Structures are given as structure tokens and as C-alpha cells.
Amino acid sequence: MRARAEALASQDDAVASHDGAVARHRGALASQDGAGAPRNGAHASDTALDGVPFDEPEPGPEPGWLDEVLSGFDTRFDAMRDSASSAVTGQEDPEEGKDAAASEADVAVVQALFYDIASNYLKPVHFFIAELRRGPSRADWIQIARPALENIQRAALDVGVESLDGPIGRVVAELSGTEGRGETVIRGAARDAILADYEILIDAAPGAFAIDEALDSSRSLVVHSLLSSIPGVGRVTIDRLYRVGLVAVELIVMASPEDLTLTAGVRRDLAELIVQNFQRYHKEVSSQRPEVMRKSSLERLSDILRTLAVVNGEYEASLASHATANRIRARQARQALLTKAHLVLGQMGEVALAEELEKLPVERRIEELQRFLANA
């Protein structure tokens, strides 16, 4: 049928456009950027980052990226819904003069496309729910999660998945109620209700709403490594950010230095460095396609590894010569390179490897990274 052919062609265009949107905003949505890290500064990579200092106790953002992301995906859903309407409701084919009502197979194709696109579209929601599962979370997430859920709700109705309307509506209502009460942190009964309603969504459509815990761990590693790589940022500052829920790349990118100072008590100079570094990282990863990102990450890891081998040799030489100044300098350089390596591994989703490296001496870490690159 022509309706089916046009629907499939339009679906292909939607998928291609959707992939481009994901690539442009990868740091905000998918891959890539990592998730909220555990509270109180606890993270598996603390063991490896043994050179991260305790910083001294304490005595403008670019928020437009979210609108761009959501409007980009809205366009993709509009294209999908237009093509889906004829496949789900059926239309008369003027050329063939016969009913072009979609067959059961046509509907299945459209709905399969819906779940595929929805899974990527909902990545920010996945990150939010993963963070909420760990404990009370900042209400800023509502500005990210609610628009995405509302658009999925409309799209589900358009492609004939009416069963999601009620469950999505309940989650949206809980989010709106929390925001309407002016709460800055989602906790207590509100948190419990959101999580309970979201579990119903997972049961109804796991392909769209299930949370990839491995991806969540990858995001945690990215956030921790980014923070640890900033001069002057130590465990005190990291702990303060985690305690107020600033545990995701998206949230820190949306924040201003003033936000970090007022809500987390971070020194103004450190707050400026943190925001600048996270915004630069987000811009870099958002500008690369996924396949280019992996190749670039492997090349960067190879460069880090070569330098790490040289610096580790200098460190060993300083031990033999009892050159204290050289030893301190080499140790700091070595630790900075290990932090960069962890950041790259987090971007690539290689959390298991990063966790394994934490248990090894530096020489063994170099060997394992060399083996990883040889097999990549």
C-alpha cells in the first residue's frame, strides 16, 4: 500500500534526523556524558585517584541547550507522527481507489519505531530516575524530565499506544505538583510516588523506560573524573557538590558559578573553573557523532598512555635518585594522566575496566590499558 510505503520512508527520514540530533547533543542525552555520582564523595574511583587532595574548607550559564535538544526531538516526533497517522488510522488511496487502512504489521512497524525513538528521547529522564533512586534529588531535573515525558505522551497517543497515557500522566502530575509547591529538592512522599509510578511505566514499556545501569555508572565516572581533573578541586568540594545533588553533567552545565557558591558553598574561583570545564566538555562531546567519538576516544587514550609510560619512568627514576622535587612533580603528572584516562573510559562506557584498574599498581594499569587498546 502506498500509505505503508510512505510511512516507512518517512520513518527512515525521522530515524536519520533523530540520529543527527543525538550526535549533536550526545553529551546531554546519551552517551555519553556520565550520570549522578554517589553522595558524600563516595565513588569507586577514589581508590585510584589517591592523589586527589583535600581542598581547604570554605569560610553565567548557557541554559539554551535544553530547548535546542527538546525542539530537535520534537521535530523528529512530528515527522514520525505524521507518517504514523496514515499507518494507524488508515486513509483512502486515491490512486488505487481502495482502503489503505494499516494492517497489523503496519501498526507494529510504527510502534516499534516509536519505542526506538522514545528510548533515546527519554535518556535525560532515565538519568533523572537513576539519580532519584539513589536518594533525594534536585528539583531542577523537573525542567528536563517533564517536557520529554509530555511529548512522549502525545506521541504514544498518535501511534496508538493508548496504554501509556495514564501512567505517563501520573508521573507528569507528580512532577508538576512538586514544582508547584516550590520544592527545591524531591524527597519523601513525592520521591516515593514518582518512583512508584515510573516502575509502572517500566512494566508497561521496558524498551522505552527501562534504565541502563551500566550507562548510569559510566556517567558517574565521567563526572567524578572531570571534577578531579580541575586544579584546586578536591574531595571537600566534590563532596559538597554531591550532597546538594549536583551530580550530573547536565545540571552543572545549566548552573552558574553563583549557583555552585550559594547552594554548595564552593569557593567562587573554583565554581567558575568547574562550570567552565563542564561547559567545555559538554560542547566537545556534543559536536561529535557517536562513531567518531569512539575513534577519537581511543586515539586520546593512546596518547595518554604513551605519556603515562614516560612519566611513570620519570617517577621510578626519581625514586632511585632520591630527587624529592622530581618525584613529587612526576607523581602529580602521573595522577593527572590517570584521571584523564578514567574520563575517557567513562565516555566509552568501560566502567568495568576502570574499576579493575583501581585495584592495580600503575605499571599493571599501563599494561591493561595497552591490552585494551590492542583489542579495541
Q: What is the pLDDT of residues 260-316, one digit of tens each?
A: 999 889 999 999 999 999 999 888 877 766 667 788 889 999 999 999 999 999 999
Is the pLDDT at 103 greater than 70? The verdict is no
Compare 1 and 116 and report the one with higher pLDDT: 116
> How many percent of the chain have pLDDT more than 70?
69
pLDDT of 111 > 90? The answer is no
3-state secondary structure of 340: helix
Least confident of 105-109, 173-177, 259-263, 320-324: 105-109
Exposure b/e, 323-357, CB count within 10 A at least 16 = b: eeeebeebbebbbbbbbbbbbbbbbbbbbebbbeb
Residue 55: pLDDT band (50, 70, 90) is very low
The pLDDT value given to residue 168: 96
- Is the pTM value of this prediction over 0.75? no
- Which of 103-112, 127-136, 225-234, 237-246 reaches the highest mean pLDDT? 225-234
Q: Which residue has the higher pLDDT, 292 or 360?
A: 360
Residue in 226, 195, 222 with CA at minimum distance from that of residue 354: 222
Higher per-residue confidence, 304 vs 83: 304
Say yes or no to pLDDT of 86 above 60.
no
Residue 37's alpha-carbon distances to 46, 134, 219, 341, in angstroms, are: 12, 9, 8, 18
pLDDT at 239: 83
Q: Which residues pair with 138 in a beta bridge?
A: 185
Say how far apart CA 202 and CA 301 lie, in whole Å: 36
Distance CA 197, CA 55 (A): 41
Average pLDDT over residues 191-209: 93
pLDDT at 338 over 50: yes
For residue 186, pLDDT over 80 is answered with yes
Mean pLDDT of 134-138: 79
Per-residue pLDDT, averaged over 19-30, amounts to 38
Residues 126 and 18: their CA atoms lie apart, in Å, by 18
